[in-house]
Amino acid sequence: MTLKEYNERLEKVLRDTETRLGNTMVKLGSEALTLVRQRVQETGKNAEGQRYPNYSSDPMLTNCSAMTTSACSRIAGSKNKRKELQWVTLKRSGKNIKLFELKQGYKQFRELHGRRTDHVDFTFTGKMWGNMHILSSKSDHDNGTVIVGPTTEEEMNKLKGNVNKRGQILDLSRDEITQLSNDFKIDIVKIFKDNGL
């Protein structure tokens, strides 16, 4: 290969890299979201490898309208069960609302609904995680940036509340960054190979 041919191929590599960067960033953004979701849901650990603080077991007030029918039935499904509960009546918007106490708080609320409590996974209905997508634009991707997050205001507020309570949820761990960097390098190496370099 002559120097001229090498320079022409190298210029083609640069053009192809610029052209393919957006698609590569979208792929990496999707992969990053998958890696974070798996780590958080399966291990309950943040990007530094520390477990998120456990679900609260401080007493809380709730009622059956905030629960599924089967969860409500487990705690208040019979006259005897309702008799054992501690009840409170609150006035809201001119109406009396009857609430009962869950002695073990949100942890118990999750258990009644059959949700895991061995670690924090930020999953109850699955809507927050299911609503996470790539938010950035094509021009962002073409400039090497990808942004992920919830697409609805409700789920964004839920994410913000969780972040305020327990810290960043969508941060990448060092291992995840390394994996994504390697995948990026593989894509770049492929461009070189495709151009005979």
d(CA 146, CA 129): 17
C-alpha distance across the termini of the chain, in Å:
10
CA atoms of 64 and 73, how far apart (whole Å): 9
Q: Please say whether the beta carbons of 106 and 59 come within 8 A.
A: no
CA 123 – CA 81 distance, rounded (Å):
28
pLDDT band at 182 (very low <50, low <70, confident <90, very high): very high
Domain boundaries, given as residue ranges, for the chain? 1-53+120-197, 55-118
Reported as a single tens digit per residue, the pLDDT across 26-80 is: 999 999 999 999 999 999 999 999 999 999 999 999 999 999 999 999 999 999 9
From CA 173, how far away is CA 50, in angstroms rounded? Answer: 11
Per-residue pLDDT tens digits for 89-120: 998 888 999 999 999 999 999 999 999 999 99
What would the pLDDT profile of 8-26 be if each residue is shown by its tens digit? 877 887 887 878 889 999 9
**Token pair of 104 as six digits:** 């073990």
Predicted local distance difference test score (pLDDT) of residue 102? 96
Task: Name, in order, each residue with C-beta under 8 angstroms of 110's C-beta and a sequence gap of 6 or more.
Answer: 55, 116, 117, 124
Secondary structure of 178-195 in HEC code, one letter for each residue: HHHHHHHHHHHHHHHHHC
Alpha helices by DSSP H, listed for 85-149, are 105-112, 127-130, 138-142
Instruction: Determine if the pTM surpasses 0.85.
Output: no
Name the residue with tokens 């006035």: 91
Please tell me the number of Cα atoms within 13 Å of 7 on its side-chain side.
3
* Interatomic CA distance for residues 194 and 197, integer angstroms: 8
Residue 123 and residue 130: Cα distance in Å, rounded? 10
Nearest to 104 by CA among 67, 56, 165, 54: 56
